[in-house]
Amino acid sequence: MDFFIPLINTMALAAILIAFVVGLLLAPWQILLLLLILGLAGIEWLKNLQPSRSSHPIKPPSDGDQTVTAQPSPSTLQKTQQKIRDTVLVYRGASYKQPSVIDETELVEISGKYRGQIWKLSNLR
C-alpha cells in the first residue's frame, strides 16, 4: 500500500501537467497574449524587488584623498608578457603554445595538414 500512494500522486501530477500543456496549446490567442503580458509584468515586478547596484552611487574622491596608482616595473611587465607567450592553450583536446607576434618584415610560412594532405603558405609581408 505504501508503494501505491506515491505512484498515484506522481501519475496525477503528470496528468495535470499534460492537461495544462494541452490547454495552453488549445487556448485562444487572446488568452495566450494575456498570459504573456502577465508573465512579463511579473518579471519586471520581481526585478524591481531586488536592490540594484546602481542605487548606491560611488562617492568621488574628495580633495583630501590621495590616489596612488602603481606602475609596473619593466621587469614585471616583461615577466607577464613572457607568461602570456608561454601559455599553453587547449582546443578540442589538442594542446599548443600561443603563437608569438610576427614582425612585419619577417618571412611568414604557415603549414599544416588537412584531411591527410600537407599544405604550405609562404609570403613576405
Question: In angstroms, rounded to a whole number, what is the distance separating the alpha carbons of residues 113 and 53?
Answer: 51
Question: In angstroms, rounded to a whole number, what is the distance separating the alpha carbons of residues 65 and 73?
Answer: 25
Query: What local confidence, expressed as pLDDT, does residue 109 receive?
Result: 76
Give the dihedral of Cα atoms 72, 76, 77, 80; nearest 10 deg: -130
Q: Is the pLDDT of residue 108 over 80?
A: no
Q: What percent of the chain has pLDDT over 70?
A: 64
Query: What local confidence, expressed as pLDDT, does residue 41 receive?
Result: 94
Q: How confident is the model at residue 101 (pLDDT cuts 50, 70, 90)?
A: low
What are the phi and psi torsion angles at 114 (to 5°)? -130, 120
Query: What local confidence, expressed as pLDDT, does residue 55 receive?
Result: 53
Answer whether 125's CB lies under 8 Å from 108's CB.
yes
In one-letter notation, the amino acid at residue 11 is M
Q: Give tens-digit pLDDT for 3-57.
A: 888 899 999 999 999 998 998 889 899 999 999 999 999 999 988 887 655 555 5
pTM score above 0.85? no
Of 64 and 118, the structure prediction assigns the larger pLDDT to 118
Question: In angstroms, rounded to a whole number, what is the distance separating the alpha carbons of residues 12 and 8?
Answer: 6
The DSSP secondary-structure symbol of 22 reads H
Q: Taken in order 94, 98, 73, 65, is the CA torsion positive or negative?
A: negative
